[in-house]
Amino acid sequence: MDAIKFIENELSPVNELPSFKSGDTITVYYKIKEGAKERIQHFQGVVLQRRNTGANETFTIRKMSGGVGVERIFPLTSPFVDKIEVNKHGNVRRSRIFYLRERTGKSARIKEKKMIKK
């Protein structure tokens, strides 16, 4: 089993991505091909979870669009992910924050993590 993981990690493209976890607000810049044209679309939202490890790692982002919750799952090693920006670091106690699905408005807010400056 270790040989399979070794080959997966060696064949997957290496992206320089920032460290983020659930509760963080991030912007994902995603390449979309439409015929011969290619454009970059951004998707900004709160990270609900990170799943798996290595080449199979994915993360789920949720945003509110017109009063409707939209979730999207991105593979971390996808060649279509152009870049990821971390907008805010959230302070949550759980690694999977699916309880945000039932909440709207003020109750869906996540406290921002206070960074200690040295």
Q: Where are the domains of the chain?
A: 22-105
Q: What is the pTM of this model?
A: 0.82
User: What does the pLDDT read at residue 75?
Assistant: 93
Query: Going by C-beta distance under 8 Å and a sequence separation of 6 or more, which residues neighbour residue 63?
Result: 43, 44, 45, 46, 69, 70
The CATH code of domain 22-105 reads 2.30.30.790
Report DSSP letters for the chain, one per residue: -HHHHHHHHHHS---------TT-EEEEEEEEEETTEEEEEEEEEEEEEEES-GGG-EEEEEEEETTEEEEEEEETT-TTEEEEEEEE-B--S-S--GGGGG--GGGG--PBPPPPP-
User: What digits encode the pLDDT tens for the residues 70-108?
Assistant: 999 999 888 899 999 999 999 999 999 999 999 888 898
